[in-house]
Chain A
Amino acid sequence: MVRFSGVGLCYPEGGGAWALQGLDFLLPEGSFTWLLGPSGAGKTSVLGLMHLRLRPSIGRIEVLGHDPAGLPRAQLPALRRRIGVVFQDYRLLPHLSAFENVALPLRIQGVTEARLRADVTEMLRWVGLAERAEAAPAALSGGEQQRLALARAVIARPALLVADEPTGNLDATQARRVLSLLRELHRLGTTVVVATHSEALPEEYPAPALRLEGGRLLRHG
């Protein structure tokens, strides 16, 4: 569950301009939501607020039942671990193998080596990268990196998954593949938010949409 109440965001480097303004919405638990809008509309900023990389300048947010502003710093990591993020630029660790990149969230949680090995192998198979487990991220194609980023985002079975342009750099076939993975996660009960500037992608999987423009919400539904 994600709730935004009167949320506005003003980047310190932004010269006082509001990147986001007056956002009010509620995404129910287990929902799938498209976050739509042209480049610069504020999609990445909204996702940043959802996965606690950013704090609202005004207003309140609630993520998975918690207001991050009301949590002591020591409790933020536990909340972050329940949120999976597919970054627009993947944010894979270049010095770690594909396997280790996917294993990272489990290592952070202190999962034992034996359980971790089985889970990561299974996850790599799910995204079709079983053969590339030992490859460096730089040795993977764009589509493979995208799927690797997705695998890392969901390995710890997050309650909330946010994906930022997860098909942005992919051809139609690869994009459809990633989308079907996201749909499967939704089917399994994860709350999913997918940001895209593409108008075509949402037609492949009709679902509620938040439409942003200039940092404001155009319509809800």
Chain B
Amino acid sequence: MARPKGATALRPLRGRDPLGLRRALAGWLLPALVGAMALLAALAIAGAAGAGRLAERWEQAAAGQVIVQVPPAQAEAALARLRALPGVAEATVVAEDRLRALLAPWLGEVPGLPLPVMIELRLVERAEEAALREAAAAIPGAQVERRGEAVTQALRVAEGVRGLAFVLLGIIAAVAVALVAVATRAGLAARRETIEILHELGARDADIAGRFAARLALLCAAGALGGLAVALPALWLLAEAAIPVALSRPAAASDLPWAALALLPPAAAGIGWLTARLAVGAWLRRLP
């Protein structure tokens, strides 16, 4: 008989695991899959946070700013008329080197290229931006940049990205629930007789289901931590690449949505606990 082997194999199970769940619910499949879900969730969270940050910045930048483009010949006259408009706090010509720097990404360095004159208006607070735009457009040769609309559209895109991220999070949570349910069912199948015996010995449903729930919460939390460990360096690289472009400053540690990311392992544990608790609870209710 395989007695010595059997006897030694039993020792680690002494004590706290009467259902043998460490073996029935073992393996790396569930934690690995939950880890993959956590990775996707981290990306979605970072995407939502990034889109939110960008939208905020655009909104700030756009508030109370209007840019009017005029032919160089009429710059002086236009500037004077713009300054006279009600609601204008300040009207300044955008310096040529700044203009070139702003346009460089699109036009490249083209030294001889004639540039229009851009006049930047800062409005007094509570100014009627729409009325002002109309007045500015009436000045001969002036073209009012439709920056407001561009920002509105960009904001709409950012909102879309955020909404998509939340939908993704919902899908990820649903997949995680399904994964835990499948794993729980496998554990139930593997320990069916054990559970029935414990039930007949007077174990409460809550105790049995609680042991499953604790085990699955642990596996899910471990998986989520693993997924997060992979996600964080990736998110940092992404932030380092994207933030200088989007916000024109270097990336900082505070750019990652730490609070939301830190919620992932507890959220995974919670999903594992609740799903297993309900699944096992429902199964136990069929016993006499």
> Taking beta carbons and an 8 Å cutoff, which residues of A are in contact with B?
51-55, 74, 77-81, 83, 85, 91, 93, 95-97, 99-100, 104-105, 107-109, 113, 134-136, 138-139, 152
- The residues of A that contact B20 with a CB separation of less than 8 Å are 93, 95-96
Let me know if A95 and B13 touch, CB within 8 A. yes
Let me know if A54 and B288 touch, CB within 8 A. yes
Nearest chain B CB to A6 CB, angstrom units:
20
B1 interface residue, CB < 8 Å from A? yes
Nearest chain A CB to B191 CB, angstrom units:
9
Let me know if A139 and B202 touch, CB within 8 A. no
B206's closest neighbor in chain A, by CB?
A74
Let me know if B201 and A80 touch, CB within 8 A. yes
Q: Which of A77, A107, A139, A152 contacts B6 (CB 8 A)?
A: A139
Name 15 interchain pairs, CB-CB below 8 A, sorted by A: A52-B200, A53-B288, A74-B204, A77-B204, A91-B193, A93-B197, A95-B13, A96-B13, A104-B18, A104-B198, A108-B18, A108-B201, A135-B6, A138-B6, A139-B6
- The residues of A that contact B6 with a CB separation of less than 8 Å are 135-136, 138-139
Let me know if A95 and B10 touch, CB within 8 A. yes
- The residues of A that contact B198 with a CB separation of less than 8 Å are 104, 108
Nearest chain A CB to B188 CB, angstrom units:
15
- The residues of B that contact A99 with a CB separation of less than 8 Å are 14
Given contacts A91-B200, A100-B10, A104-B198, 13 further A-B contacts (CB under 8 A): A77-B203, A91-B193, A95-B10, A96-B18, A100-B15, A104-B18, A107-B18, A108-B18, A113-B15, A134-B7, A134-B11, A135-B3, A139-B1
Let me know if A51 and B200 touch, CB within 8 A. yes
Which DSSP category, helix, strand, loop or mixed, fits chain B's interface?
A: helix
Q: Which of B3, B23, B193, B201 contacts A104 (CB 8 A)?
A: B201
B194 interface residue, CB < 8 Å from A? yes
Cα of A152 to Cα of B200 in the assembled complex, Å: 12
B125 interface residue, CB < 8 Å from A? no
A95's closest neighbor in chain B, by CB?
B20
Nearest chain B CB to A72 CB, angstrom units:
12
If A54-B288, A95-B23, A134-B10 touch, whether A80 touches B18 (CB-CB below 8 Å) is: no
- The residues of A that contact B7 with a CB separation of less than 8 Å are 97, 134-136, 139
Cα of A112 to Cα of B265 in the assembled complex, Å: 32
> Taking beta carbons and an 8 Å cutoff, which residues of B are in contact with A?
1-3, 6-7, 9-11, 13-15, 18, 20, 23, 193-194, 197-198, 200-204, 207, 288
A52's closest neighbor in chain B, by CB?
B288
Cα of A3 to Cα of B213 in the assembled complex, Å: 39
Nearest chain B CB to A182 CB, angstrom units:
19
- The residues of B that contact A77 with a CB separation of less than 8 Å are 202-204
If A53-B288, A80-B200, A81-B201 touch, whether A97 touches B194 (CB-CB below 8 Å) is: no
Let me know if B203 and A96 touch, CB within 8 A. no
- The residues of B that contact A55 with a CB separation of less than 8 Å are 288
Considering residues B9, B10, B193, which has the most beta carbons from chain A within 10 angstroms of its beta carbon?
B10
- The residues of B that contact A139 with a CB separation of less than 8 Å are 1-3, 6-7
Considering residues A55, A74, A104, A109, which has the most beta carbons from chain B within 10 angstroms of its beta carbon?
A104
- The residues of A that contact B13 with a CB separation of less than 8 Å are 95-97, 100
Let me know if B202 and A105 touch, CB within 8 A. yes
- The residues of A that contact B18 with a CB separation of less than 8 Å are 93, 96, 100, 104, 107-108
